[in-house]
Amino acid sequence: MSAQLPMLIVQMGRPPHDVSEVLGEQPDWFLAALAPANLDVLVVRPHMGEPLPQPGSFAGAVVTGSWHMVTDLHDWSERTAEWIRQLVAADVPLLGVCYGHQLMAHALGGLVGYHPRGRELGLQTIRLLQESINDPLLAHIPGEFPALLTHAQTVLVKPPGAVVLGASDHDENQILRYGPNAFSIQFHPEFTPAIMSVCIQRRRTILEQEGAGVERLLLNLAPTPDAHAILMKFATTAAQVSADFR
């Protein structure tokens, strides 16, 4: 029986203390979401100076969300962007989530910045586009599905050659594919309503100043099984492919 390489979670910075003391940090959320797959998982923290592993030492990688902004151009983030380019060139399975989605687009020649229409937050509807038909990660996902989001920056211009597979009413670049194994999503497939609730409530004052209906956002929260299924499909497919080649 072939041994499986571990799945890699690349943690892009730490949450604010008031979030982490209640919910833990990004890897905790991904580990919980991936638990049914029973995969070996490793975590690397480039923001703490940890080295990013070489292709061939892991089955695939998930680049997490962050409370930082891609346009801050932190050294650790730019180092991860260079690593992303190496992984895509080597055809290593790679999934970017929220900040990771934006960082992949930035690394591969796209433009990231603040969304001209402001923040996208809470439970929103993702709409698959014609280009998603027969995409291996989206084959069993309905044409419209709910997802949990929280972002101010976005992919303003997709990288050359990237294909847009999904959009929301707010954001036209919700799902991007860059190659056979490189894929990114603006929404959070690892989020639960409890995680989203904390993210909303800690920003209550700012959101109210922006005119958002905070109570409505909280009441609308619900599980997002289709978004979660995309994460599971990516991880289990990457693990199986790595096992088949060992």
pLDDT per residue over 184-208, tens digit each?
Answer: 999 999 999 999 999 999 999 999 9
CATH number, residue 185? 3.40.50.880
Check residue 1 and give its pLDDT: 37
Does the annotation mark 188 as catalytic? Answer: yes
Whole-angstrom distance, CA of residue 94 vs CA of residue 240:
14
Angstrom distances, CA of residue 165 to CA of 54, 110, 135: 29, 16, 9
Residues in the chain: 246
| Residue percentage of the chain with pLDDT more than 90 | 94
Catalytic residue, from 47, 98, 151, 228: name it. 98
pLDDT over threshold 90, residue 4: no
Read off the pLDDT of residues 102-132 as tens digits, 9 standing for 90 and up: 999 999 999 999 999 999 999 999 999 999 9
Catalytic residue, from 47, 68, 151, 188: name it. 188
Asked, for residue 1, whether it belongs to a domain, the answer is no
Check residue 243 and give its pLDDT: 63
| Averaged pLDDT score across all residues of the chain | 95
Whole-angstrom distance, CA of residue 95 vs CA of residue 177:
9
Asked, for residue 180, whether it belongs to a domain, the answer is yes
In this prediction, residue 17 has a pLDDT band, given cuts at 50, 70 and 90, of very high
Asked, for residue 141, whether it belongs to a domain, the answer is yes
Check residue 242 and give its pLDDT: 61
Catalytic residue, from 47, 190, 199, 228: name it. 190
Would residue 13 be called left, alpha or beta, if left means φ above 0 and alpha means ψ between -120 and 50 degrees? left
Asked, for residue 200, whether it belongs to a domain, the answer is no
pLDDT over threshold 90, residue 2: no
Asked, for residue 208, whether it belongs to a domain, the answer is no
Say how many domains are in the chain: 1
Asked, for residue 219, whether it belongs to a domain, the answer is no
Check residue 240 and give its pLDDT: 82
**What's the whole-number mean pLDDT along residues 223-244?**
90
**What's the whole-number mean pLDDT along residues 80-101?**
98
Asked, for residue 213, whether it belongs to a domain, the answer is no
Does the annotation mark 101 as catalytic? Answer: no
Asked, for residue 80, whether it belongs to a domain, the answer is yes
Q: The domain containing residue 79 runs over which residues?
A: 7-191+225-244
Does the annotation mark 210 as catalytic? Answer: no
pTM beyond 0.85: the answer is yes
